[in-house]
Structure 1
């Protein structure tokens, strides 16, 4: 039996396991975003009861359940991180929970009742959420001090893979739902999740496998350094949570808004759920634009660290909701604005995403003590859970009332994001930055 490397080898090259991680991420994100793209449409148009009779949700109920599910996806990373860092290690945790993830997709494909929806989404939340902190931390574990300069590039490719998978799935699954039905629309993402699992398993001998910390993980987490790190990052994540409260509405409120817009672009009628494909496409264009053009030009004249990037990204999210709020105002008057307005909002929001999400991902890994990498990544993902939980609560609270209707809904979130950004600008100067990477092996053996 071949033993796995348990520490990065000194090297100035990209680690050999990175392509397997990136390939896995592309296929896994196809499966997740394909399912996510059609979820609101499925709940409002395709749900049935046990007798096969239509049992659809209204818009507020569907938005509430959508954001509750997304919140669950980003709470379960805490469980995955505890299993990974404390018991099984990242590799075995990813393989185990990926199998649970596959079962969730096939539950949605086979049962279109509310019970099937609950079972499928529950398994996906456990599987998808559980592997999230492990995969990104596992990527970081492949690097040591010698090739640390390649870590930002690897996280950039990692994020590119996320959006490559998301782009094609968001185009494909709404078409499958409309033309063939929900069984295929949920089944195809399930097949891609199987592919993702097999890709990751294939790279097992190329990976660095950092052993689980066991009681050392507990001691490091409860140490003064561990608790201070968690407290500082949690303060940051509370601000970032508001960004996610706005961002993830591109999969709910913006999809429903697109149903009332003129969706003809260049002579092609675009399905409401397909508009979401603008986000991953823009990410793939904007990541290199920011990395090689915008950031270098700013850095020549101004210190533009991680926390300033995050602050500007938040500001852009507020602007995106101002734009979508203006479009909703036109809809409230009985007019039919072009979906191009929503595409403009996507451009602004995605620019904010590049500044917030990628920066937070790398920042979280480098700030974490070495035995707490997955756990800290899970803390970062809790910010997404909190943001979506807040949005879910807002939608359940206004269901059946006259509160925050029409454009007022978008104005509320835009003002909330603007206020959060101002407070963050004042607080962020007190958040220190460190850089912690895994220790390299002392020899090539």
Structure 2
């Protein structure tokens, strides 16, 4: 550790370690989303028992599994963040848990039974989840006061790299699953995770390695200021959780809905799980469009603070779930709606994601005291877990013994749209009372 810098570079420009972090993130997100994209279809169409016979799940059971897995992935950042801030530092935590992550991919590629599924998803939940808060905070650690003004743009590019990886994998892995089977479809994301780990390791001499703070971390965390900061942010994050409860259903309910739609678009018959690629494709377009055009235009007439961006995003989510309710109504009438309707829902949901999730990355870093950066990111990631836990519990409650649902057809989507609308309305007075305080490294 003595050979590594422990403070940010003194520069007004881009720190030299950022390209390694961005490259690592693009490859890691390829691996994660490539695997997650095909989970629902794998569980319902490819899962085997120990004898090699079909052991498929129902759509309802697969929905519960997908959201329980995502819940685990986004709760473990709290553990990884605690290890990073208190004991190991971010770099070591990321390297060690990335190895665990790779082993999870290996399990999925080698074993197509429930045992392989449970083992693989458990290891990925520990690895992927454990590094999440650390990587996001590690980005911010590379910046000091001289170039702290670049943070908003860099987190935008960081999020862009996430979606470049996600876009490529979401198109590729469903095709691999359909044409080459689970071993190749899960093996390719595993290879990308190995590459991601090597890219991050290669940047070790360019990073600012902010040391773990040990007892200082515990003192600041449990100080009156630390507890007050966490309390304020947790109120915001609990509401953000409802956004994730709806958003992550693009990997479950929206996939199953797409299977009942006319998926011919641009002269191509798309696989149901490939439709998810629309989200990262739109992100790639929307992030620069929002940052360079939309936000500056709005700021001329209306100061667009981070909390206001999040609030606007909340209200955008509501119609994005009313459209699938209408699609479900038409399917119930025996029609086969065109996939363009779901693409419009993706447009609204992705616009909301840019205003909520990208904003929360910068907001979480700047609002966290200096020794608590990873922990606060862990709390933000826990909002994803909380949202997916809500979705999972709802689906467990409404699942009938025969695999059917108590919230059938459009009522399912109307329920979640209503929950999001109530959350958005409650958020308005909460955000108005919030007082921001910015913390950056010297």
Relative to the length of structure 1, the TM-score reads 0.98
Is the CA contact (8 Å cut-off) linking 2:60 and 2:405 kept in structure 1? Answer: no
Unaligned runs of 5+ in 2: none
Deviation readout 1:137-162 (Å, 9 max, x if unpaired)? 00000000001111111111100000
* Match in the other structure for 1:99: 99
* Alignment partners' CA distance in 1, 2:305 and 2:13: 26
Once the two structures are TM-superposed, the CA of residue 266 in structure 1 deviates from its matched residue by 2.1
- Kindly provide the CA deviation profile for residues 376-424 of structure 1, in whole angstroms up to 9, marking residues without a partner as x: 0000001000000000011111111552111110000001101110010
SS of the residue corresponding to residue 144 of structure 2 reads coil
Match of 1:218 in 2: 218
Distance 1:402 1:110 in 2: 33
DSSP-derived class of the 1:52 partner: coil
From 399, 417, 421, the counterpart of 2:420: 417
Aligned 1:341-352 pairs, distance under 5 A: 341-352=341-352
Q: Secondary structure at the match of 1:356?
A: helix
Residues 404 and 284 from structure 1, CA distance in 2 versus in 1: closer, same or farther, beyond 3 angstroms? same
- The Cα of 1:87 is off from its aligned counterpart by 0.5
Paired residue total: 439
Decide which of 408, 415, 435 is 1:432's aligned counterpart. Answer: 435
Quick one: distance in 2 between partners of 1:281 and 1:301?
30
Name 1:387's counterpart in structure 2: 387
The answer to whether 1:73 aligns with 2:63 is no
Please name the residue that 1:87 is paired with: 87
Where does residue 407 of structure 1 map in the other structure?
Answer: 410
Pairing of 1:313-328 with structure 2 (within 5 A): 313-328=313-328
* 1:182, distance to aligned residue in structure 2 (A): 0.2
1:266 aligns with 2:266: yes
1:10, CA displacement in angstroms?
A: 2.1
After TM superposition, which residue ranges in structure 1, 4 or more long, deviate above 6 angstroms?
A: none
Shift of residue 435, structure 1, vs aligned partner = 1.3
Following TM superposition, by how much is the alpha carbon of 1:83 offset from its aligned partner in structure 2, in angstroms? Answer: 0.7
Q: How far apart in 2 are the matches of 1:9 and 1:276?
A: 39
Hey, what's the Cα distance between the residues in 2 that align with 1:133 and 1:157? Answer: 17
How much has 1:110 moved relative to structure 2? Answer: 0.3
Distance 1:426 1:59 in 2: 39
Distance change >3 Å, CA 135–CA 402, structure 1 → 2: closer
Alignment partner of 2:335: what SS? coil
User: 1:320, 1:149 → 2: CA distance?
Assistant: 33
Contact 2:8 / 2:142 at 8 angstroms: preserved in 1?
A: yes
In structure 2, how many angstroms separate the alpha carbons of the residues matched to 1:217 and 1:328?
Answer: 50
1:443 alignment partner in structure 2: none
C-alpha displacement at 1:426, in angstroms? 1.8
1:23-422 map, 5 Å? 23-400=23-400, 402-422=405-425
Deviation at 1:9, TM superposition (A): 2.7
Matched residue SS, 1:435: coil
Query: SS where residue 165 of structure 1 aligns?
Result: helix
Q: Deviations over 1:266-295 (max 9, x none)?
A: 221000000000000000000011101111
In 1: Cα distance, 2:389 partner to 2:405 partner: 21
Contact 2:100 2:123 in 1 (8 A): yes
Give a deviation string over 1:315-344, Cα, whole Å, max 9, x none: 111110011111111111110000000000
Distance 2:212 2:123 in 1: 24
Tell me the distance in 2 between the aligned counterparts of 1:325 and 1:433. Answer: 38
Higher mean Cα deviation, 189-198 or 317-326?
Answer: 317-326
Residue 431 of structure 1 and its aligned partner are, at CA, apart by 1.1
Distance 2:386 2:2 in 1: 42
CA distance in 1, matches of 2:363, 2:308: 12
Q: CA deviation at 1:2?
A: 6.8
Deviation string, structure 1 residues 189-228 (Cα, Å, up to 9, x no partner): 0000000000000000000000001111011100011000
Give the Cα separation in 2 of the matches to 1:103 and 1:293: 43
For structure 1, the 5+ residue unaligned runs are: 440-445
In the TM superposition, what is the alpha-carbon distance from 1:437 to its structure 2 partner? 0.7
Q: Do the aligned residues in 1 keep the contact of 2:29 with 2:163 (CA within 8 Å)?
A: yes
Which whole-Å CA distance do the structure 2 matches of 1:427 and 1:226 have between them? Answer: 20
Deviation at 1:428, TM superposition (A): 1.1
CA shift for structure 1 position 375 = 0.3
**Does the residue aligned with 1:378 lie in a helix, a strand or coil?**
helix
